[in-house]
Amino acid sequence: MIGVEYPIELPCRAVVSDHDDTVIVSRRTEYPRMQHVGQILGRPITRRQLDASWGKGMGDQCALLYGEANREKAQEIHRELAGQYPRIAQLGCLDILADMEAHDMKLGIVSAHNAVSIRAELVEIGINPAAFLFIHGDKETSPYHKDDPRTFNPAIQILAEHGISPEETVYIGDDIRDLSALAVGWGAIGVTTGVHSYGDFQAAGREYSGVERVPVVRSLADIRVETGKLIVPPFVELAV
């Protein structure tokens, strides 16, 4: 076992999260869906191309995969295919969001995905989008996307209007680029439901803000919610 450490407490009145592979299981269904779009457009897409495009704004991802001329058409087809590629919630997602609401924490999403699609996918997995103070996708944060800290500026402004400071905000995400939230003064929790490991998050934390230890969990179910704080338990990554 590696990466064992003591529990970490993060002051928290607001939780902002990524969407793909954080709230929902994404790549497992999204990669075949994006390849299906490519088939319709006559643009075969490889796994390597998908890996390289992942995390970009939805419009930019479509332009990169299918060509600039197909940017809007690809997004339209992508939405039309939604019913063929059902989404499921990440382990612990529904319970922890309910727990956060019960502890009067404000919720938000900042993602490179399309906000309209995010709302539809939340409904699909049984979450009311109205539970979120804001849902920011690629258009809402444009021209910035993670890992540019300016991506979070619209969210920071909304939270400030509700009397919540950056020091009281925690961002949760599955990608090391999500740790760019540290640069705006937010707390951050990495979750290894994407492609990045405990060690990846630690290295990225040092790069983004010089922090010695980034809280990391194997799933959202590992996070404990208490009044005014989130508690992250010791991390255990099983050797394979």
- Judge contact between 132 and 107, C-beta under 8 A: yes
| Tens-digit pLDDT profile for residues 135-169 | 999 889 888 988 899 999 999 999 999 999 999 99
Q: What is the mean pLDDT of the chain?
A: 92
List the end-to-end C-alpha distance of the chain, in Å, as a whole number: 10
- 38-76 tens-digit pLDDT: 999 999 999 999 999 987 888 899 999 999 999 999 999
Q: Find where tokens 């956060």 sit.
A: 100
Confidence (pLDDT) at 6: 66
Q: Which CATH architecture has domain 8-25+88-232?
A: 3-Layer(aba) Sandwich (3.40)
Cis peptide before 44 (omega within 30 of 0): no
CA distance 98 to 93: 9
Rounded to 5 degrees, φ, ψ at 124 are -60, -35
pLDDT surpasses 80 at 217 = yes
| Sign (positive or negative) of CA dihedral 209, 213, 215, 216 | positive
